Structure 1
């Protein structure tokens, strides 16, 4: 467990830049009206809250969030829940929508371009270091440890990585490293991912987390922007170029993952499909869940809507409001229905004689009288 009372000066001289413009199309209807980072997770938080909370808990007090796809829900959440950083304390929180700052006919063309188009804002703050983060993953990580490795190694870039089953690595950047942790090869989303030597079923995947000296990154972004062949992407262009022409260091997630006394594995989830999203939420109903969202030493900050408590009513055979091994959020009313191993977000209404079993129910949905939902995610229509 990490002592959160003190932070090294390195964190105070760092800016976290969160890339939150992606749709997450594999989540289908859940991202029809919002970007993937704005999707609800775990009862009351949004997916982006994990990356942002990691930054705050790591001592980073300058944060920028780049948005693009259907950003209204995300921006509203950020404005309501992340407005506590204060300029008078040398803190900042900037929401940076795609706004054609560089060209009148160009939005963010890629992940690197989403940073390049806001170079002037970053340079105004003048942080010594910058951490590039993906806003659509669920995990707890102390970025301060990764920052310290970056400074100690003297690398041009430090890339967060973790081991994954080889055939699951098709959706990630995949790297090879030498005995010193230096990245010797990097390929983005390969059709046939290269395995870790001696471990044919495992690949070393990028987490989409990069630490740079700010000046070095600004130089790389300007160089990349001048290249007509570039796709303006960190994984496809920036990182491979540095691997070839500079020094790129790997940082193992195992070194900086935050675990409470109840967590055993290094928890990281992409939740990029409906099945993965459902499973990650249902896992939270375990007696000892793989992700401890109750860890007071590493809180997950979010916008906390003012709601009344959850309510359970009726107590007769077949019509008893009850929940077993479940998470039920505020403003839910369980009116003569039952739920087992299920997770209900804010404002759900469950009518009499209905039952939920291994169900994830998104905010303000209504479960009708006598309905049966098993092993599914449900949302409000309309």
Structure 2
């Protein structure tokens, strides 16, 4: 694995995750109370003994840079590194990254290093656990120039994914980005035997989707990106190179979720709080790394808590919490109900001086006050919610923009740093 460089794409504008991406990039969005999305691909790399990692960033990247810098450090005797390559103007290019392929193209000079043969390209906003050694080995065994990690999916998922067609050897012969035509989807359907021969159970799944994870021979990647100015791997590059290059599919059959929308983010987080989560955070052999915050254990007093995650440094007093994720430094008042919700917590504890100033300005303390009811919501960090506040989308509104809250996919979102006065009903 010493001759592999990992490249993690830091994401675009993240418009489908807005307002969670109003002040941060997609990979910097909090996950499971204490992590960030970027921790997933970085941890997968480190657990796969890949320690030469570049993270390509562009939009709202300050908090992502800060998190990576604080969380991931290598000692002086290691050849490993995690370096951030932010979009910048150069002699060759005056433009920002125009897409996934363009981002890699603008940084090729960093990847062309001695003794590097392969480039592993990853997304920074997906939830899954993978040993990348397996895909690298299969790439070499197939004599492939490019390998795409794939996952079996059902027909109903095809309009949101890139769907592949393969031959008996696993070589990719067709690629269709988000197909909606039923005739095309029929032509891409695979028999159960195709999956079973690779140790994957079909379970009603008949299509093979790209996960946006690629292994390139470095020389091939350089040639491809210099031959074309097209900007995106999925839409532009892959459909072209399957005609002339040896592009193979790697079959993956574990849990995988693309955290691209508010709904997928919400559902993935609440799934982590279940008794049998699809993604296991508790593996000692392949842990998820993050920035150690050195917070105290949470204080829980007289609460009823079911099927929920309570992160470090919280103070919860006589609250009822069910099917929810409570993030770091969360403060929940007496007789408050939290149900089917994500409370991201806070970046800091308020000082006595700040509390006095807030009260003089009639601003509630950071956290959630007494006798509140929060159901089916995402409360971003550093939010001030007063007493007897109700947040619940009883009318099942799917989409709405208001002064201090938004609704996406019927989920109420209170943006970062918002103030919700006492006795408010949302």
With the length of structure 1 as denominator, give the TM-score of the two structures: 0.87
Taking the aligned partners of 1:286 and 1:13, their CA distance within structure 2 comes to 39
Q: Which has the larger radius of gyration?
A: 2
Taking the aligned partners of 1:169 and 1:322, their CA distance within structure 2 comes to 41
SS of 1:180's partner is coil
Contact 1:21 1:71 in 2 (8 A): no
Aligned-residue offset at 1:276: 1.7
RMSD: 1.8
SS of 1:209's partner is strand
Match of 1:297 among 285, 291, 315: 285
Residue 316 of structure 2 corresponds to 334
Q: Which moved more, 1:168-177 or 1:138-147?
A: 168-177
Q: Which moved more, 1:103-112 or 1:329-338?
A: 103-112
Residue 334 of structure 2 corresponds to 352
Residue 307 of structure 1 corresponds to 295
Residue 236 of structure 1 corresponds to 235
Unpaired runs of 5+ residues, structure 2, are 193-203, 347-365, 384-415, 418-426
Structure 1 moving runs of 4+ over 6 Å:
none
SS of 1:30's partner is coil
Taking the aligned partners of 1:310 and 1:105, their CA distance within structure 2 comes to 49
Residue 4 of structure 1 corresponds to none
Aligned-residue offset at 1:23: 2.8
Contact 1:161 1:252 in 2 (8 A): yes
SS of 1:161's partner is strand
Aligned-residue offset at 1:353: 1.1
Residue 278 of structure 1 corresponds to 266
Distance 1:118 1:87, change over 3 A: farther
Residue 40 of structure 2 corresponds to 50
Distance 1:62 1:240, change over 3 A: same
Contact 1:34 1:73 in 2 (8 A): yes
Taking the aligned partners of 1:76 and 1:157, their CA distance within structure 2 comes to 33
Aligned-residue offset at 1:81: 0.7
Contact 2:88 2:94 in 1 (8 A): no
Residue 17 of structure 2 corresponds to 27
Number of corresponding residues: 349
Residue 373 of structure 1 corresponds to 374
More relative contact order in 1 or in 2 (CA 8 Å, sep 6+)?
1
SS of 1:279's partner is helix
Aligned-residue offset at 1:104: 5.4
Contact 2:6 2:53 in 1 (8 A): yes
Unpaired runs of 5+ residues, structure 1, are 1-10, 255-265, 314-319
SS of 2:227's partner is helix
With the length of structure 2 as denominator, give the TM-score of the two structures: 0.78
Match of 1:95 among 73, 80, 84: 84
SS of 2:5's partner is strand
SS of 1:204's partner is strand
Residue 3 of structure 1 corresponds to none
Taking the aligned partners of 1:209 and 1:224, their CA distance within structure 2 comes to 20
Aligned-residue offset at 1:51: 0.8
SS of 1:12's partner is coil
TM alignment of 1:138-149, pairs within 5 A: 138-149=127-138
Aligned-residue offset at 1:284: 1.6
Taking the aligned partners of 2:71 and 2:212, their CA distance within structure 1 comes to 24
Distance 1:201 1:341, change over 3 A: closer
Per-residue CA deviation, residues 237-294 of structure 1 (Å, 9 max, x unaligned), is 221222011111000112xxxxxxxxxxx21111222222111111122222111101
